[in-house]
Chain A
Amino acid sequence: MTEKEPNKVTAWRQIGVLSAIPFILALAPIVGYFLGTYLDTKFRTAPWLSYVLLGLGFVAGVRETIHLVKLAQRED
């Protein structure tokens, strides 16, 4: 194993991790909604599960964002 280079590692990780945030924010509610729609069809609960999972998708997006920011700020 070679010695790691902290600055280069952190810079790469910040670009990778932070540029993932918009995708996570946009896709989390979409995934939630489609999963909810599928479950609604399965359990005949339309439209409730799609609304609930859409809301939870928004929450999951925020939660993942906070986590990703923490990871990006972590120094090696």
Chain B
Amino acid sequence: MAAALTALWLPANPNAAISLATGQILSALNFFFLARLVKLFTGAAQVEDRGTAEAMRAKGLLLGGTKLAVVYGGAFAVTRWRGVEFLPLMLGLSLPLLALFLKSIMLAFPAGAARTSRRATSTASPTRSQAKLAATILLAGALALPLALLGPGRAFANDPPTAAATTEVGHAEAGAAEKAQGGGEAHLPNWITIANDYAPDNPIVHWMHENEYLVFAWLAGALFLLFVMAVMKRSAAVPGHLQNAVEWIVESMENVCGGMLGKHLPKYFPFIMAIFFYILTMNLIGIVPGFKSSTSTLDTTLALALVTFLYVQVSGLINLGPLGYLDHLAGSPRDVVGFAMLPVMVPVHLLGEMVKPVSLSCRLFGNIFGEDTLIVVFVGVAALCLKASLMALAVPPMAGITALFMLLQTLTAIVQALIFSLLTTVYLYMMLPHEKHGYEEGGHAH
């Protein structure tokens, strides 16, 4: 793909083509060394012999040093070149990451039996339908992201009359897109937007309009609370449909989280389930016409991720004790080399911890925002057809494609809530005292 893009760009813009190719080469080299480092250190758990461990550490240092010199030195040299174009360079660097994301999702399918992931695929057998479903949704989300990032406004930007029509129908038609909060983001109108249209001078409505995401987040919390209270009130020895459904969800989550947390599960399960249900409610609420997913803004997802981050760190501090926690932050040094590496390892570990909430929030935001924007795109197309009195063209996208994407959004909502809570479990697991996770080996590679 990168080669094809380079070939296309070369005659018109040689600098862009060279930047893209360079980015691709650097990324390929990065993955070459990364694969070797991962392979080297993921076999470390089985190595007990001190001599072998020392040899492995030396090999890791050599690989890490070569990677540093070749990849990062190369990247630095490229940025010093006057003709470099950063967008193609970033595209070249990012394409393998996208491939890696797709490859990790493909683990659930028979096609995922890639050479470097053989051990992982041996456990993720293709017979597991739930994992395959999750992978399909993530895959659809990943494929939808470019379109979502493009946005309906920009998607129609090449066609001035169409773009104008989109804006025009925005307030007139129920299904049209509007530009909310002046940020250029496309949204369907919700009840707060409509209330603000009718009573723009009302301070309460105005405040709600200014803080839509916050209002819908509170609403999701209140709805979840009411739902739980209703279920608990009706709790019976012979469960009804609703109680059965809730019990099934809770038991399934117990299975998934219990595998990692073991005896610590009862302590952390309430938090994990609270996060799961809150995100699920916020995701699902956006499907209801007139409502909006609070998780389609980075503010909410980052707040959720920061709460999780703080909870994990405080749990680590309580579990490991102050000294154990500092030891964990330092990468658990046990020898002279380990202590000598402390000035490097402490910031590396701190950065690694800081990346976790950012990664959690970006993924949740990207998926929910992508799905929301997709629906806006298709509803916008349908509204344009209605505006042009093309009823025959308007009905299929409105009733068919939008419904299909709403179904996809429902599934994405569930999968994203599940993955967020699952990664929270993983991060909590990393902070448990029994864990000997071999950071030392990975750390000493650098």
User: Chain A: residues with CB nearer than 8 A to chain B?
Assistant: 1-28, 31-32, 35, 53, 55-67, 69-73, 75-76
Cβ-closest 4 pairs across A and B: A18-B104, A9-B259, A11-B131, A66-B442
Given A15-B134, A19-B104, A70-B437, A24 and B426 contact (CB-CB distance below 8 Å):
no
B94 at the interface (CB under 8 A from A): yes
Complex interface residues of chain B between 389 and 427 (CB less than 8 A to chain A): 418-419, 422-423, 426
B338 at the interface (CB under 8 A from A): no
Sampled A-B contacts (26; CB under 8 Å)? A1-B254, A1-B258, A1-B265, A8-B130, A8-B131, A8-B256, A10-B124, A13-B259, A14-B123, A15-B124, A18-B107, A18-B120, A24-B355, A25-B34, A57-B355, A63-B349, A63-B352, A64-B352, A65-B38, A66-B42, A66-B441, A67-B439, A70-B45, A72-B120, A73-B42, A76-B259
A65 vs B116: C-alpha distance when bound (angstroms): 14
Q: How far is the CB of B439 from chain A (nearest CB, A)?
A: 6
Given A1-B254, A19-B101, A66-B41, A60 and B352 contact (CB-CB distance below 8 Å):
yes
Given A14-B107, A28-B352, A4 and B120 contact (CB-CB distance below 8 Å):
no
> Please, which residues of chain B bring their CB within 8 A of the CB of A13?
256, 259-260, 422, 426
| Residues A56 and B101 in contact, CB atoms below 8 Å apart | no
| Residues B125 and A4 in contact, CB atoms below 8 Å apart | no
A11 vs B349: C-alpha distance when bound (angstroms): 28
A18 vs B138: C-alpha distance when bound (angstroms): 12
Q: How far is the CB of A20 from chain B (nearest CB, A)?
A: 6
Q: How far is the CB of B86 from chain A (nearest CB, A)?
A: 14
Given A26-B94, A27-B362, A75-B123, A56 and B442 contact (CB-CB distance below 8 Å):
no
| Residues A11 and B123 in contact, CB atoms below 8 Å apart | yes
Given A11-B123, A12-B418, A17-B426, A31 and B38 contact (CB-CB distance below 8 Å):
no
How many residue pairs, one in A and one in B, have C-beta atoms under 8 Å apart?
192
A75 vs B260: C-alpha distance when bound (angstroms): 10
> Please, which residues of chain B bring their CB within 8 A of the CB of A61?
352, 355
Q: How far is the CB of B367 from chain A (nearest CB, A)?
A: 11
Task: Give the size category of B's interface with A.
Answer: 35 or more
| Residues B38 and A66 in contact, CB atoms below 8 Å apart | yes
| Residues B123 and A23 in contact, CB atoms below 8 Å apart | no
Q: How far is the CB of B328 from chain A (nearest CB, A)?
A: 12
- Which residue of the partner chain, among B67, B68, B107, B348, contacts A63 with CB atoms under 8 Å? B348
Given A28-B351, A53-B347, A11 and B359 contact (CB-CB distance below 8 Å):
no
B157 at the interface (CB under 8 A from A): no
Knowing that A11-B125, A31-B355 touch, tell me 11 more A-B residue pairs with CB under 8 angstroms: A2-B254, A4-B254, A10-B124, A11-B128, A15-B124, A22-B97, A27-B359, A53-B351, A62-B442, A72-B120, A73-B123
> Please, which residues of chain A bring their CB within 8 A of the CB of B128?
7-8, 11
| Residues A32 and B351 in contact, CB atoms below 8 Å apart | yes
A27 vs B101: C-alpha distance when bound (angstroms): 14
> Please, which residues of chain A bring their CB within 8 A of the CB of B125?
7, 11
A16 vs B37: C-alpha distance when bound (angstroms): 21
| Residues A15 and B426 in contact, CB atoms below 8 Å apart | no
| Residues A62 and B445 in contact, CB atoms below 8 Å apart | yes
B179 at the interface (CB under 8 A from A): no
| Residues A59 and B348 in contact, CB atoms below 8 Å apart | yes
| Residues A56 and B97 in contact, CB atoms below 8 Å apart | no
Q: How far is the CB of B440 from chain A (nearest CB, A)?
A: 10
| Residues B107 and A23 in contact, CB atoms below 8 Å apart | no
- Which residue of the partner chain, among A6, A7, A14, A67, contacts B120 with CB atoms under 8 Å? A14
Given A8-B255, A22-B97, A71-B426, A76 and B124 contact (CB-CB distance below 8 Å):
no
Q: How far is the CB of A62 from chain B (nearest CB, A)?
A: 6
| Residues A70 and B438 in contact, CB atoms below 8 Å apart | yes
> Please, which residues of chain B bring their CB within 8 A of the CB of A57?
351, 355
| Residues B423 and A17 in contact, CB atoms below 8 Å apart | yes
Complex interface residues of chain B between 40 and 68 (CB less than 8 A to chain A): 41-42, 45, 64, 67-68
A7 vs B246: C-alpha distance when bound (angstroms): 23
| Residues B37 and A23 in contact, CB atoms below 8 Å apart | no
> Please, which residues of chain B bring their CB within 8 A of the CB of A31?
351, 354-355, 358
Q: How far is the CB of A50 from chain B (nearest CB, A)?
A: 13
Given A1-B254, A13-B260, A53-B347, A60 and B123 contact (CB-CB distance below 8 Å):
no
Q: How far is the CB of A55 from chain B (nearest CB, A)?
A: 6
> Please, which residues of chain A bring their CB within 8 A of the CB of B124?
10-11, 14-15
| Residues B355 and A64 in contact, CB atoms below 8 Å apart | yes
